[in-house]
Amino acid sequence: MTTRPFRQVDVFTDQPYFGNPLAVVLDAEGLSDAQMQRFAQWTNLSETTFVLPATEPGADYRVRIFTPGGELPFAGHPTLGTCHAWLEAGGKPRDASTVVQQSAVGLVRIRRDGAQLAFAAPPLRRSAPSPSTLAQVASALGLKAQQIVRAQVLDNGPVWFTLLLDDAQTVLRLDPDHLMVKALGHKIGVAALTQDEAPALIARSSREARAFAASATRPAAAPALVVRAFAACAGVPEDPVTGSLNASLAQWLLADALLPAPYTASQGACLGRDGLVRIARDDSGQVWVGGDCVTCIAGTVNL
């Protein structure tokens, strides 16, 4: 076994122990796939990451991301948390304003704005779910058909079967059958506009209403969206705060003019967390997903 630098960080929060924890092994050279997977099972966190030297031109480092149940090609909170840990441990990016992280989906840009980090959402593939699968997912979540406003299968590396529901309270009151969710084999995301944003659904067919909504301003931390994520098939019954899901949700909702950018999404309340995900879109149309990170444990691990 080798002594390796280690961090455990909390992502999408500025208060320790109120976000989504991430374990980061900062020097994973020499570890096998089986060793990485075993350690990820042992940490029992939604994700554990392993930092390796970059193998693609332009990347500052390479990361591998594991859940207790397997490896992921991309995930949002591990992207921000690993970057935070790498910088804190003395990592020096080629560009002071942007870190380039190599993962299985390719190169992911992470921009730095002081202590704030935000990653560029990977390209999104989306499709309509089959009616039979939608009915099965609704049953597993205990939802009635009239509570589902829209549904999409969203794929930006991880694939999320995603539902937009009628009300934030509907989202917060969900009590899924996690065994049924696991048997379905889908990671499921649910979201609803908060009360202040709900009229956007009614006005979505009006060009003038959309133009007005896009010009509206709101406090940076006022949540416009409430989100939950269920991933029993990956060994995580409910994820506290989910960057990949929020990234794909943002690309969907912004493209369909259901929300203006920038906005803030809240996630984790049902688990006693207070995660905030900040969504922005630049002039090129690129969606950026950001949030705070704090280090909770710094030291070494024998692995």
| Encoded tokens for 298 | 């710094």
Q: Which of 208, 236, 213 is nearest to 68 (CA)?
A: 236
Active site residue 47: yes
| Encoded tokens for 254 | 């912004």
The single residue listed with the structure tokens 């190169």 is 107
| CA 153 to each of CA 188, 265, 274: distance values in angstroms, whole numbers, following the listed order | 9, 19, 26
Q: DSSP 3-state assignment of 270?
A: helix
Report how far residue 248's alpha carbon sits from residue 243's, in angstroms, rounded to the nearest whole number.
9
Which residues contact residue 205 at a Cβ distance below 8 angstroms, ignoring those fewer than 6 apart? none
What is the torsional sign of CA 135, 141, 142, 148? negative
In this structure, the number of other CB atoms found within 10 A of the CB of residue 115 comes to 11
In the chain, DSSP finds a helix count (H) and a strand count (E) of 8, 18
| CA 93 to each of CA 9, 240, 289, 295: distance values in angstroms, whole numbers, following the listed order | 20, 29, 19, 20
Q: Residues 47, 88, 197, 208: which is the catalytic one?
A: 47
DSSP characters for 21-35?
A: EEEEES--TT--HHH
Report how far residue 14's alpha carbon sits from residue 213's, in angstroms, rounded to the nearest whole number.
29
Report how far residue 87's alpha carbon sits from residue 303's, in angstroms, rounded to the nearest whole number.
22
Which residues are the active-site residues? 47
